[in-house]
Amino acid sequence: MNQYILQTEDVAIHYGGVKALDGVDLTLEKGQIRGLIGPNGAGKSTVIDAITGRRKLTRGRVVLAGEDVSHLGAVERRMRGLSRSFQRTSIFGGMPVRKQVELASYKMGVADSADDAEAVLQELDLIRLGNTLAEDLGYGEQRRLDLALALVGRPKVLMLDEPMAGLSVKESQDLAQHLKALTSRWEVSVLLVEHDMDVVFGISDAVTVFELGRVIASGDPAAVRANPRVREAYLGSAA
Ligand SMILES: Nc1ncnc2c1ncn2[C@@H]1O[C@H](COP(=O)(O)OP(=O)(O)OP(=O)(O)O)[C@@H](O)[C@H]1O
Ligand SMILES: [Mg+2]
């Protein structure tokens, strides 16, 4: 029995001569938050694209709850529980928050989409904004709506690409708390790409460091932070 909810095995994505990813092995346990860090162009976003099925693999496979999903399209993977947030692109400005979340749930084929939406809104403290039009939300609230749309249908894995970008310190902490709560209450597992090191090291159970499409360090946050190669490649300037 495989204890991982998600695994990538020897995943590679090459664009002509550019090895955006080259031999990436990642694991994610149930309810775990794994932070993905690395310099610009290291391949962090490409890993998420590879897992969600947005980019075709050059090599390797993606395994969700023991099932090889490498041959499936992005929509099928979402149906099986691999979800990502898209930072606003999926929001309709003129529609109230609750309606949007219900619609997203309905489109997922959830049997009781009203209940599903309500639970998501509750979890993200969006109930009081249920009747507010998305275009009238503050930036931080819009980000929470993004997250809500990614959470309909109770995904197994949530992938977030720089969700804290543009948020105030207070809003970032708030979002981090919600993520942490989700992992314990809903047993959602999270892959978090984030440049804010305080956030990453503050909430991750494990951290993986990328450089030039490869994993250069992975494991316990404290050990990763202390790793000389990581400090040199990435944290050097900040440390
Ligand atoms: N469609 C594409 N065609 C060619 N090369 C690409 C394509 N998409 C990404 N790349 C290259 O793949 C590499 C990894 O890019 P990626 O966007 O995954 O990095 P990243 O770690 O997310 O960086 P950032 O922190 O800036 O978001 C880079 O060298 C990038 O130029
Ligand atoms: Mg990126």
Looking at 124, 154, 184, the residue that finishes a domain is 154
Across 41-55, average pLDDT? 96
- Residue 89 near ligand 1, beta carbon < 6 Å: no
Q: How high is the pLDDT of residue 154?
A: 95
Asked if residue 178 lies in contact with residue 185, where contact means CB atoms within 8 angstroms, the answer is no
Query: Mean of the per-residue pLDDT values for the chain?
Result: 92
- Please tell me the predicted confidence (pLDDT) of residue 22: 97
Q: Are residues 149 and 162 in the same domain?
A: no
Look at 24-38, 71-85, 88-102, 115-129 and tell me which has the smallest mean pLDDT.
88-102
- Residue 233 pLDDT class (50, 70, 90 cuts): confident
Q: Which atom of ligand 1 lies nearest, measured to the CA of 193?
A: 22
Q: 21 and 112 in one domain?
A: no
Q: Are residues 64 and 164 in the same domain?
A: yes
Mutate to test the pocket of ligand 1, among 8, 26, 44 (most ligand atoms within 8 A of CB): 44
- Residue 145 CA to ligand 2 centre (angstroms): 21
CB of residue 20 inside a 6 A radius of ligand 1? yes
User: How many structural domains comprise the chain?
Assistant: 2
Determine how many CB atoms are found less than 10 A away from the CB of residue 66.
11
Residues 6 or more apart whose CB falls under 8 angstroms from that of 13 comprise: 19, 20, 21, 43, 46, 49, 50, 55, 56, 57, 58
Res 87: pLDDT:
62
Last residue of a domain, one of 103, 125, 154: 154
Is the pTM above the cut of 0.85?
yes
Q: What share of the chain is helix, strand, coil (3-state, %, to 5)?
A: 40, 25, 35
- DSSP 8-class letter at 133: B
Distance of CA 93 to the CA centre of its chain: 23
232 confidence band (pLDDT: 50, 70, 90): confident
Nearest CA to 209 out of 37, 48, 45 is that of 37
First to last CA, the chain: 40
- Residues 130, 20: Cα–Cα separation, whole Å: 41
77 with 179, same domain: the answer is yes
Q: Phi/psi zone of residue 98: left (φ > 0), alpha (ψ -120 to 50 degrees), beta?
A: alpha
Same domain assignment for residues 5 and 33 = yes
Q: Are residues 160 and 147 in the same domain?
A: no
Strands ordered across the beta sheet of 18-29: 18-29, 4-15, 59-64, 67-68
Size of the chain in residues: 239
Parent domain of 9: 1-81+156-239
Q: Which of 91-100, 117-126, 211-220 has the lowest mean pLDDT?
A: 91-100
Ligand 1 atom nearest the C-alpha of 47 is 18
Residue 143 tokens read as: 């980000």
Ligand 1: does its nearest atom lie under 6 Å from the Cβ of 58?
no
Q: Which residue has the higher pLDDT, 47 or 1?
A: 47
Task: Kindly state the average pLDDT of the residues 68-82.
Answer: 96
> 24 forms bridges with which residues in the sheet?
11
Is residue 62 pLDDT above 80, yes or no?
yes
57 CA distance to ligand 2 centroid (A)? 17
pLDDT for 201: 94
Task: Decide which of 126, 154, 182 is a domain's last residue.
Answer: 154
CA of 43 to the centre of ligand 1 (A): 6
Residues 211 and 39 sit within 8 Å (Cβ to Cβ): yes
Return the pLDDT at 239.
Answer: 43
Question: Both 145 and 201 in a single domain?
Answer: no
Whether 44 lines ligand 1, by a CB cut-off of 6 Å, is: yes
Residue 214: predicted pLDDT: 97
Same domain, 237 and 185: yes
Ligand 1 contact via 131 beta carbon (within 6 Å) = no
Q: Closest Cα to atom 16, ligand 1: which residue?
A: 43
* pLDDT tens sequence across 78-117: 999 999 987 655 677 889 999 999 999 999 999 999 999 9
Q: Is 237 a residue whose pLDDT tops 60?
A: no
Are 160 and 239 part of one and the same domain?
Answer: yes
**Other CB atoms closer than 10 Å to residue 211's CB: what's the count?**
19
Same domain as 197, residue 102: no
Q: Measure the CA angle with vertex 110, ends 108 and 115; round to 5°.
A: 125
Q: Which residue has better confidence, 88 or 34?
A: 34
What spacing in Å lies between the alpha carbon of 2 and ligand 2's midpoint? 29
> Do 160 and 233 reside in the same domain of the chain?
yes
Nearest ligand to the CA of 195 is 1
Residues 147, 215: one domain? no
